[in-house]
Amino acid sequence: TTQDWQAADAAHFLHPFTDFDALAKKGSRIIERAENIYLWDSEGHKILDAMSGLWCVNVGYGRQELIDAATAQLKQLPFYNAFFQTATPPAIELAELLSEVTPPQFRHVFFSGSGSEGNDTVVRMVRRYWDVLGQPERKVIISRNNAYHGSTMAGASLGGMSGMHAQGGLPIPDITHIEQPYWYELGRPQGLSRDDFGRLAASWLEKKILEVGPERVAAFIGEPVQGAGGVIIPPATYWPAIQAICDKYGILLVSDEVICGFGRTGRWWGCETMGTRPDLMTFAKGVTSGYIPLGGVMVGERVARVLIEQGGEFNHGYTYSGHPVACAVALANIRLIQRERLVDRVRDDLGPYLAQHFEALKAHPLVGDAETCGLMGAVVLARDKASGTPFASDLEVGMVCRGHCFGNGLIMRAVGDRMIIAPPLVMTRDQIDEMMVLIKRCLDLTWADVKARG
Ligand code: PLP
């Protein structure tokens, strides 16, 4: 029964990003099965998964070819490693296919088991790159407040979440942060247009480079759209200005594509949507649509040539780097994305359709702003929509709204008072309509609660 699951869960399972005490008191919601864009919990409730699991199940649940690819590979060769000059056919084939679907500067990949490990690899790889070039003092990596780059020591250090830094004495040395390009909170109150704010926010990178000393800066890392931070969509002027600053000082640009990769923004890669030309690109999640863990770093020719021709052995790797079953699933997943033209669908059809719906949401009395990029979106709940005044944080209005979503068969995430979605790329227009009916219902219920509380 659900109660049995909950009791065993509370007794033994320390969940990630979960308040242990709250879980022990309230019990988890047990998700038992899924199909297409829907989940079913252990009580038989059907739930529309507007978060694609954790931003990953892009091709939807229950895709037989991914299951078949895993099964066939498990029978053929369930594991072999890629250390010490060995390789398996699925890993080689995936490396080749990734170089076809990524921007032209990418011809090489380093595999990891997750996005966090991919970003750890970035830290070691960029430092190795500058070492090999005889500039070992170039160690500093600049990231942004409110970024999320994973939960390992380096990943959490690159991330800009103060709550994460507070636990474990982070960041590790030589990682520093600038403010995020969050127009609604930082630019709008000053009366800045989005474009002017985008240029201003990019100038903070140059300011930081000069403060650190350009000869000490190794790289800048950012998510094209900050995902876990609340789907913070930067102004169109931001990323081109960041690229220009990286070029000016010769520092490496790293695009964390763990969420934005594989079509989420309406192009294969978020950097293509935002107009940058990164030197390194991390990926995970959507590479297998979450069916099995896999991540990695696409390594641009600027870095790859130095590592290959001058670097010798790179003392870094994971048991599961290039895991054959994960790579076989990734191959099936990417071919499915290509065959069903999912990226074009997001760009030409579903993305613009979702954007229209979100535009209409702005009329809701609770909504201060609503925006989308491809098939990810955010709705800002505001106490006073005209001025954008936020609710007091202790009211936890976002969590109230999230509770209504749960109760009404919808998974939406609350980041403070930003309600965010990243639904599967396979959904239909009718399913977007269905999701929007649920979103509006939950906003109405939250609004009623807010009014009742005065
Ligand atoms: N980078 C970004 C942008 C992410 O959103 C995440 C996870 O949500 C990660 C890295 C870490 O990936 P993983 O959880 O696979 O380690």
Which of 359, 390, 392 lies closest to 182 in space, CA to CA?
390
> What is the residue with the minimal CA distance to atom 10 of ligand 1?
149
Q: In a mutational test of the pocket of ligand 1, which residue from 57, 112, 116, 292 has the highest number of ligand atoms less than 8 Å from its CB?
A: 116
Whole-number Å distance between alpha carbons of 152 and 318: 14
User: Which pLDDT belongs to residue 283?
Assistant: 98
Residues 170/197, Cβ–Cβ less than 8 Å? no
Q: CATH says 65-339 is which class?
A: alpha beta
Ligand 1 nearest atom to the CA of residue 293, by list position = 15
> What is the residue with the minimal CA distance to atom 7 of ligand 1?
150
How long, in residues, is the chain?
454
- Gap from CA of 387 to ligand 1 centroid (Å): 34
Whole-number Å distance between alpha carbons of 262 and 57: 11
Complete DSSP assignment for 175-194: EEEE----IIIIIGGGT--H
Indicate whether residue 116 lines ligand 1 (CB < 6 A): yes
User: Which pLDDT belongs to residue 168?
Assistant: 87
Indicate whether residue 227 lines ligand 1 (CB < 6 A): yes
Indicate whether residue 150 lines ligand 1 (CB < 6 A): yes
- Gap from CA of 66 to ligand 1 centroid (Å): 22
Q: Which amino acid is at 134?
A: G
Domain boundaries along the sequence of the chain: 36-59+341-453, 65-339
Whole-number Å distance between alpha carbons of 263 and 266: 5
Task: Quote the tokens at residue 20.
Answer: 């242990």
DSSP state of 29: P
Complete DSSP assignment for 391-448: PPGGG-HHHHHHHHHHHTTEE-EEETTEEEE---TT--HHHHHHHHHHHHHHHHHHHH
Whole-number Å distance between alpha carbons of 140 and 292: 33
Complete DSSP assignment for 56-124: T-TT-B--HHHHHHHHHHHHH-S-----TT---HHHHHHHHHHHHHS-TTEEEEEEESSHHHHHHHHHH
- Gap from CA of 451 to ligand 1 centroid (Å): 37
Backbone angles phi, psi at 72, to 5 degrees: -60, -40
Same fold for the pair 36-59+341-453 and 65-339 = no
Indicate whether residue 420 lines ligand 1 (CB < 6 A): no
Residues 295/117, Cβ–Cβ less than 8 Å? yes
Q: In a mutational test of the pocket of ligand 1, which residue from 15, 148, 158, 376 has the highest number of ligand atoms less than 8 Å from its CB?
A: 148
- Gap from CA of 149 to ligand 1 centroid (Å): 5
Indicate whether residue 294 lines ligand 1 (CB < 6 A): no
Burial of residue 12, with CB atoms counted within 10 A of its CB: 0-12 exposed, 13-18 middle, 19 or more buried: exposed
- Gap from CA of 13 to ligand 1 centroid (Å): 21
Which of 170, 166, 169, 105 lies closest to 143 in space, CA to CA?
170
Q: How do strand 413-415 and strand 418-421 relate by DSSP bridges?
A: antiparallel
Reported as type and span, the H/E element at residue 381 is strand 376-381
- Gap from CA of 114 to ligand 1 centroid (Å): 7
pTM: 0.98
User: Which pLDDT belongs to residue 454?
Assistant: 78
Ligand 1 nearest atom to the CA of residue 227, by list position = 5
Cα dist from 223 to 160, 360, 381, 382, whole Å: 12, 27, 23, 25
- Gap from CA of 374 to ligand 1 centroid (Å): 19
Q: How do strand 367-373 and strand 376-381 relate by DSSP bridges?
A: antiparallel
Tens of pLDDT, residues 195-230:
999 999 999 999 999 999 999 999 999 999 999 999
Does the structure's ipTM exceed the value 0.85? yes
Ligand 1 nearest atom to the CA of residue 257, by list position = 3
pLDDT averaged per 10 residues, the chain (length 454)? 95 94 91 98 97 98 98 98 96 98 98 98 98 98 98 97 93 98 96 98 98 98 98 98 98 98 98 98 98 98 98 96 98 98 98 98 97 98 92 94 97 97 98 98 97 87
**C-alpha 129, offset from chain centre:** 26
Indicate whether residue 120 lines ligand 1 (CB < 6 A): no
Which residue blocks in 285-412 are alpha helix, DSSP H? 301-310, 324-339, 342-345, 351-361, 397-407
- Gap from CA of 228 to ligand 1 centroid (Å): 9
Tokens 């939406």, residue located: 412
Indicate whether residue 259 lines ligand 1 (CB < 6 A): yes
- Gap from CA of 257 to ligand 1 centroid (Å): 9
User: Which pLDDT belongs to residue 307?
Assistant: 98
User: Which pLDDT belongs to residue 24?
Assistant: 87
Q: Which amino acid is at 203?
A: S
Burial of residue 173, with CB atoms counted within 10 A of its CB: 0-12 exposed, 13-18 middle, 19 or more buried: exposed
The CATH T-level fold of domain 36-59+341-453 is: Aspartate Aminotransferase, domain 1 (3.90.1150)
Indicate whether residue 220 lines ligand 1 (CB < 6 A): no
Backbone angles phi, psi at 13, to 5 degrees: -110, 110
Ligand 1 nearest atom to the CA of residue 119, by list position = 10
- Gap from CA of 292 to ligand 1 centroid (Å): 14
Whole-number Å distance between alpha carbons of 383 and 447: 10
